Amino acid sequence: MSETVLDVHDLEAGYEPGVPIVRGASITVGKGEIVVVLGPNGAGKSSFIKAIAGLVPITAGTVFLDGKDITAAPAHTMVRLGLAFVPQTENIFPLMSVEDNLKVACGILERREIPARIDEMYAAFPDLVRQRRTAAGNLSGGQRQMLAVARALIVHPKVLVLDEPSAGLSPKFVSMVFEMLAGIRKSGVTILLVEQNAKAALAIGDRAYVLVEGKDRHEGVASELWNDPVVAELYLGQRPARAGKGGAA
């Protein structure tokens, strides 16, 4: 494994004191990797990733980003520290134009750098250019996801963290989103994502973890994990055809 960018150690987190949802999960993400976190419904995947992003109170454990302790950093400082998060839902500002959605995320950039950076995002996501004056709430599901990812990438994050980027999208858009993520990794961005859609995520991922009951129970190379019997038992065994009711997101 290459140099570690994100190192999460024995993380415990939850909304109520004494009721942890994440119970001692550890993962590492190397530079330039795509790491996937899988797990059955209610395993605490979403809380885990939100805790890393500073959105769920952390009660124990540590999070290091590029060697720097960010465990206690408030959510709004994360982009400055180099971690950009894309929530699963409500990940755009619906009443603002596409362009303003991008601009509002540029708070940490130099003022004169902003126009060029926005043009770069438009170059990477040509679909957004045509809609730049449209209110983001009027975009299609796939375009919203693109805008949310572009908004996260615009600040040159060291690691891009995504919570179920394919949730709620039609199959056509699902493959589009994963192609997009693979493309982003090619440009050198490190990616950590939580996914319900295991097959598609493992297809683009380098390594994967399986989270069960708030703990990391299994780790492996993504391409091999699909056929791993332990994983099949832990998770894929109870995999219904379409991964179910959304659970405790």
Partner 1 sequence: MIDIIGYGAFFLTTALIFSLVTLGLNLQWGLTGLFNVGLAGFVAIGAYTSALLTTPDDAARLGGFGLPILVGWLGAMVVGGIAAALTGMATLRLRSDYLAITTFGVAVVVQLVALNAQKLTGGPFGIGFIPRPFGSLAETPLLFNLSNLAVVCAVTLIAYLALEHLSRSPWGRVLKALREDERAAISLGKSARFYRVQAFAVGGAIMALAGALQAHFTGFIAPDNYLPILTFQVWVMLIVGGSGSNLGAVIGSILVWGIWAGSGTLTSALFAPEQQARAASLQIVAIGVMLCVILLIRPNGLFGDRPRRPRFGKRAKAAAIKSSFGS
Partner 2 sequence: MSLQFVVDGLLTGSMIGLGAIGVTLTYSILRFSNFAHGDFMAWGTYATLAVVSAIGATFGRMAPIAPLSFGWPLLVALVVGMAFTALLALLLDKVLFSRLRSQGQAIIVVMASFGASMALRSLLEFTFTSRPTYFSRAIQIAMPVGFGIRITPDQIALLLLTAVLVLGVHLLMTRTQTGRAMQALSQNAALARIVGIDVASVVRVTWVIGGALACVAGVTIGILVQIRPFMGFDMLLPMFAAAILGGIGSIPGAVLGGLIIGLAEAAAVQLIGAEWRAAVSFIILMAVLFVRPIGLFGVRER
Among 74, 126, 188, 240, binds partner 2 (CB under 8 A): 74
Q: Where are the beta strands (DSSP E) in the chain?
A: 4-13, 22-30, 34-38, 58-65, 68-69, 83-86, 159-163, 190-194, 207-212, 215-221
**C-beta closer to partner 2: residue 74 or 240:** 74
Structure tokens belonging to residue 179: 């192609």
183 near partner 1, rule: CB under 8 A: no
Q: Which of residues 112-171 bind partner 2 (CB under 8 A)?
A: 151, 155
Please count the other Cβ atoms lying within 10 Å of the Cβ belonging to residue 140. 13
Among 3, 16, 90, 110, binds partner 1 (CB under 8 A): 16
Question: Whole-number minimum distance, CB 107 to partner 2, in Å?
Answer: 5
Binding site partner of 103, from partner 2, partner 1, none, Cβ cut-off 5-8 A by kind:
partner 2
**C-beta closer to partner 1: residue 221 or 248:** 248
**C-beta closer to partner 2: residue 14 or 87:** 87
Among 2, 3, 6, 15, binds partner 1 (CB under 8 A): 15
Binding site partner of 112, from partner 1, partner 2, none, Cβ cut-off 5-8 A by kind:
none
Structure tokens belonging to residue 124: 């990477």
79 near partner 2, rule: CB under 8 A: yes
| Among the residue ranges 20-28, 104-112, 180-188, 191-199, the one whose residues contact partner 2 (CB under 8 A) | 104-112
161-178: burial string, b at 16+ Cβ within 10 Å, e else: bbbbbbbebeeebbebbb
Q: Which of residues 47-106 bind partner 1 (CB under 8 A)?
A: 55, 57
**C-beta closer to partner 1: residue 141 or 247:** 247
Q: How far apart are CA 185 and CA 160, in angstroms?
A: 10
Q: How far apart are CA 142 and CA 10, in angstroms?
A: 35
**C-beta closer to partner 2: residue 85 or 235:** 85
Please enumerate in sequence order all residues whose Cβ is within 8 A of that of 125, keeping only pairs 6 or more positions apart, or say none: 146, 147, 149, 150, 180
27 near partner 2, rule: CB under 8 A: no
Q: How far apart are CA 93 and CA 167, in angstroms?
A: 18
